[in-house]
Amino acid sequence: MPFHDMKHDVQPRSLVNEIDRVVIVLPNDTSFYNTPLFIAVAFDANPQGIAPDIIGASRMNLPFLAGYQLFSRLCGDRAMRTVDGDLCVSGEVVTPERYLALWRTAIGQPLTPDELTDRYAYSVYAVLGGRLEGLRGQRSCWNSSPFETFDHFEAAYRERIDYLDDNRQFRVEFDLKQIHAARDVFYLESFLSSANQLQESRSSIELKPVALSQPHLATMPSAQPDLFSITEGAP
């Protein structure tokens, strides 16, 4: 039997170098819950530059996360990956406790969508879509919804909806800087959930770079480790 070199079967580890993190706080009217909801973004350095990674983006619902949900996600993924050095911070190995402390600082100093644009030159969008069959005529399951039925939502957003596949499907983008945008995203997603369309709805959060009229306001994370080095005693 020929010699088999096992090292050629080992896949290289996917190393992550997180250089910054931001927590975006959504308006109080986003949902009927009494706790704030957040969108959390990690900025990872790679050979092509810096890529934002939305925490919880792989889940079926949009990643509008309560604080405990954010830390549950971090503990089950990114913080766990620091143990073997598969995830580092600005090129430095950190403990899970140190890593979670950085996120506690970020959630304690959240940015609004407008502040995200001013400081990082990104706008945050929610993108949702689905099949119109099964949605039209559907009543909201929430008394707090501003839309009694999906038809009321469609009437309110008709000029911004993209109709696809011979008007059998739709797609709509929400700039979360706009008033009530996050709220309307939440209740649109509830219509999709009631119609059992979440798995196929292609809902997502997208960060889009923007050109600022005052570029000096933006402080995009740098891939230079020395600018984001970990110091003893930091929170």
Could you tell me the two tokens for 89? 């911070």
Topology of domain 122-209, per CATH? Alpha-Beta Plaits (3.30.70)
Mean pLDDT, to the nearest integer, of 70-93?
96
pLDDT at 112: 98
pLDDT at 10: 43
**Domain boundaries along the sequence of the chain:** 16-120, 122-209
pLDDT at 165: 95
Check whether 95 has a pLDDT greater than 50: yes
pLDDT at 222: 58
Mean pLDDT, to the nearest integer, of 126-144?
94
pLDDT at 13: 60
**Cβ within 8 Å of residue 147, ≥6 positions away:** 140, 153, 156, 184, 187, 191
Higher-confidence residue of 13 and 186: namely 186
pTM for this prediction: 0.84
User: For residue range 105-132, what is the model confidence (pLDDT) as tens digits?
Assistant: 999 999 999 999 999 999 999 999 999 9
Q: Which residues on adjacent β-strands are paired with residue 49?
A: 46
Mean predicted lDDT score pLDDT of the chain: 87
CA distance 63 to 53: 12
Per DSSP, the three-state class of 219 is: coil
